[in-house]
Chains A and B, each alone.
Chain A
Amino acid sequence: NAGVTQTPKFQVLKTGQSMTLQCAQDMNHNSMYWYRQDPGMGLRLIYYSASEGTTDKGEVPNGYNVSRLNKREFSLRLESAAPSQTSVYFCASSERWTEYNEQFFGPGTRLTVL
């Protein structure tokens, strides 16, 4: 089992360019998440999908869109990248939407916006 995979690992964009970050999990998990990690700020939730067919905003959704393509895949799209979106992006999944919410993380995508 690969767990949670993310592509690409690294990306450099110019301001205004668009891109999609891909995430897939092979654990048959129902819930999936996108976070960004910035120095000194821990992980902040961008969007989440509690179950296939649903998506909701997290703490910092502005400038992003998501698609829950199927149970396995959850993509994050930047329509017009800005330097403030330079960060490390992590995708995560959990078995189901419960108070325990134990999450499994991918290796991250390091994005730089010039």
Chain B
Amino acid sequence: TQLLEQSPQFLSIQEGENLTVYCNSSSVFSSLQWYRQEPGEGPVLLVTVVTGGEVKKLKRLTFQFGDARKDSSLHITAAQPGDTGLYLCAGARSSYKLIFGSGTRLLVRP
């Protein structure tokens, strides 16, 4: 059973479109992180959200932490081919170990 469920699992869109990726759980997390992983490489941290309801922006990427700190979303505006990759959410609980979702694989077609 996956503690963190990500949806959709796979997304293929045209350059310029908007998209939202979701990360859901029935558990509360003290913080939640989003990583992007490109083929043949390790994940790279994009953002950490800590406070319920928190919204962080990173250029065209907007991250939101749910009010109850059980879920998060990543919204990309005007997607570009460079956004292609595997997006992973990861939650930290009281033990401080990270629990990773299974990921959303994004393909942005030129």
> Given the interface contacts A100-B50, A107-B40, A107-B41, does A42 sit within 8 Å of B2 by beta carbon?
yes
The 4 closest A-B pairs by CB, nearest first: A105-B42, A42-B100, A43-B100, A99-B30
- Residue numbers in A under 8 Å from B40 (CB-CB): 107-108
Q: Is B78 an interface residue (CB 8 A)?
A: no
Q: Is the interface of B mostly helix, strand, loop or mixed?
A: loop
Taken residue by residue from 1 to 33, chain B's Cβ proximity to chain A (1 for < 8 Å, 0 otherwise) reads as: 010100001000000000000000000001101
Q: How many residues of A contact B (CB 8 A)?
A: 25
Partner of B33, one of A48, A97, A102: A102
Contacting residue for B44 out of A44, A99, A101, A105, CB 8 A: A105
Interface pair B102/A101, CB less than 8 Å apart:
no
A101–B45 touching, CB < 8 Å: no
User: B42 contacts A97, CB within 8 Å?
Assistant: no
Q: Given A43-B43, A106-B42, A107-B42, do A48 and B48 touch, yes or no (CB 8 Å)?
A: no
Contact B88 A42 (CB under 8 A): yes
A78-110 with Cβ < 8 A to chain B = 90, 92, 97-108
Main secondary structure of the interface of A (DSSP, over half): loop
Q: Provide the bound-state CA to CA distance between A4 and B43, in Å.
A: 12
Query: Which A27-43 residues have C-beta < 8 A from chain B?
Result: 35, 40-43
B59 on the interface (CB 8 Å rule)?
Answer: no
Q: Which of A42, A97, A98 contacts B103 (CB 8 A)?
A: A42
| A113 within 8 A of partner (CB) | no
Cβ A41 vs Cβ B33 within 8 A? no
With contacts A45-B97, A106-B42, A107-B40 taken as known, whether A40 is within 8 angstroms of B31 at the C-beta atoms is no
Quick one: closest A residue to B4, CB to CB?
Answer: A42
Shortest CB-to-CB span from B72 to chain A, Å, is: 15
Instruction: List CB contacts (< 8 Å) of A12-53 with chain B.
Output: 35, 40-45, 48, 50
The listed residue (B33, B45, B48, B101) touching A42 by CB distance below 8 A is B101
